[in-house]
Amino acid sequence: MHRILLINPWVYDFAAYNLWARPLGLLKVADFLSQYDIDIRLIDCMEDYKPRKYYTGKYSRVSVEKPFILKDIPRQYSRYGMDLESFKENLKQTLPCDAIFITSLMTYWYPGVEKVVEVIREISKDIFIILGGIYATLYPEHAKRVIKPGGLHTGSINDEWSKTTHLHGLKKIREKVPFYRSGLYKSMPFAPLYTSSGCPFTCTYCASPFLNKKFSQRPHDDVVKEILELNDMGVKDFAFYDDALLINSERHIKPLLKEVIKLGLKVRFHCPNGIHAKYVDDELAYLMKKATFKTIRIGLETVDKIRQKQSGGKVNISEFLNAVGSLKKHGFTKSEIGVYLIYGLYGQELSEVTDSIKFLMSQDVTINLTEFSPIPHTDSFNELVAKKIITADIDPLVTNNTVFSYLYGGYDNNEIEKLKLKVKRYNRGN
């Protein structure tokens, strides 16, 4: 029997927090491999965290030396997740194996990939390694240098995927088995959900259209079945990570929620990704409350009308106000309604950010202030390259949202810190 090891690497960053995170791309690989006579093992370096509200929480961490390119950033740099010795021990217990598959979500987390590869090569120099995920897809040439020697998979996981690996030629012996039924995790108090792939919008700062060429939605009854199975296994908190959860709501999310309500499941739902305000009507707000949604995030980004249109036109103020009004009408509170604002976009004055903050304060909602991060294959990234602010081969470390806003935001960093503190105090009710 073949043995395949899947590894979700550490996060190397200035900050990290577990918002119901699972390496779903890597777990999709596990689903695919389950068709074959393969012993599948998983080392998830990010499983080590301290659960807090609704099973979110802080990762374990250890301070590490900052890469040279980040030396001037006045913040502590850390490796988050499993301690190094535990990882080495888990790895030794799993080897030998036929291949190791590694993923990486954020492009600027690649030092975690580097460290994993380094440790693997210390133990076994000849083992076959394949790197996939968002980092590999967005920065393939950079990723090739990090993984060398090894293989690279870009794009999604499908039936053609095996042709890029040495698994080609293996015979299928069964239907796919979902990862959560494979015993890869000892316990599952929470689970992320994807009910769709891709997004029909083309926001200038988002790479979703590149990463997923086609927008598609799963049958809602398949999603309900998955929720039921996971709930039977003890899962109480579910996080929707769709890029466009509410699209075609009459045929998708509304029937799904009606079925969940009908079943009377004792679960909680969360939307850490920003949902589209234009699709939140009175009925949907009612269903979300009845189905016990506890965390809602709305993507607004800015109150500037011109920038709203220029960045993709996914929402306007009227649609946003209607959405918030419907949610509040059905009992959602300030702490449950979060709104994403973005700062650091090219040409964005600080006054635009402060105006957006003042507006949201007047609406009595939680403010989620986020820094802009340039992503390859987006209009925003291409504009920065064209204006020679960055180069096309920029080190992904520099695109870290903390780093990029500090180096290229064009703001007085003391003013930004004051603004962050003001938002933090407001969110806490101070």
Tens-place pLDDT, residues 16-27: 999 999 999 999
Domain C-terminal end among 127, 149, 164 = 164
Residues 160 and 191 in one domain: no
Domain C-terminal end among 164, 196, 214 = 164
Residue 312 counted as domain residue: yes
- The SS3 assignment for 274 reads strand
Residue 369 counted as domain residue: yes
Q: How far is CA 90 from CA 84, 124, 245, 395, in A?
A: 10, 14, 37, 31
Residues 298 and 155 in one domain: no
Residues 266 and 323 in one domain: yes
Q: Is the pLDDT of residue 172 over 90?
A: no
Residue 266 counted as domain residue: yes
What per-residue confidence (pLDDT) applies to 148?
85
What per-residue confidence (pLDDT) applies to 158?
62
- What's the CATH number where 368 sits? 3.20.20.70
Residues 232 and 380 in one domain: yes
Residue 99 counted as domain residue: yes
- The SS3 assignment for 127 reads coil
Q: Is the pLDDT of residue 161 over 80?
A: no
What's the pLDDT tens digit per position in 26-75? 999 999 899 888 999 999 999 999 999 999 999 999 999 999 999 999 99
Cα–Cα nearest to 159, from 31, 5, 11, 17: 31
Residues 258 and 399 in one domain: yes
Q: Is the pLDDT of residue 162 over 60?
A: no
% residues pLDDT > 90 (the chain):
83
Residue 168 pLDDT grade (very low, low, confident, very high; cuts 50, 70, 90): low
Residues 299 and 351 in one domain: yes
Residues 11 and 129 in one domain: yes
The residue range of the domain holding 211 is 187-428
Residues 299 and 377 in one domain: yes
What per-residue confidence (pLDDT) applies to 370?
94
Domain C-terminal end among 149, 164, 179 = 164
Residue 422 pLDDT grade (very low, low, confident, very high; cuts 50, 70, 90): very high
Residues 155 and 217 in one domain: no
Q: What share of the chain is helix, strand, coil (3-state, %, to 5)?
A: 40, 20, 40
Domain count, the chain: 2
What per-residue confidence (pLDDT) applies to 410?
86
What per-residue confidence (pLDDT) applies to 155?
81
What per-residue confidence (pLDDT) applies to 163?
56
Residue 174 counted as domain residue: no
Cα separation, 131 vs 134, whole angstroms: 10
- What's the CATH number where 103 sits? 3.40.50.2300
Size of the chain in residues: 430
Residues 231 and 374 in one domain: yes
What's the pLDDT tens digit per position in 364-375? 999 999 999 999
Query: Over the chain, what is the mean pLDDT?
Result: 93
Residue 177 counted as domain residue: no
Residues 364 and 258 in one domain: yes
What's the pLDDT tens digit per position in 211-236? 988 899 999 999 999 999 999 999 99
Number of helices (H), then strands (E), belonging to the chain: the values are 15, 19
Residue 175 counted as domain residue: no
Residue 315 counted as domain residue: yes
Residues 134 and 238 in one domain: no
Its pTM surpasses 0.85: yes
What's the pLDDT tens digit per position in 259-301? 999 999 999 999 999 999 999 999 999 999 999 999 999 999 9
DSSP H/E element including 259: helix 253-263
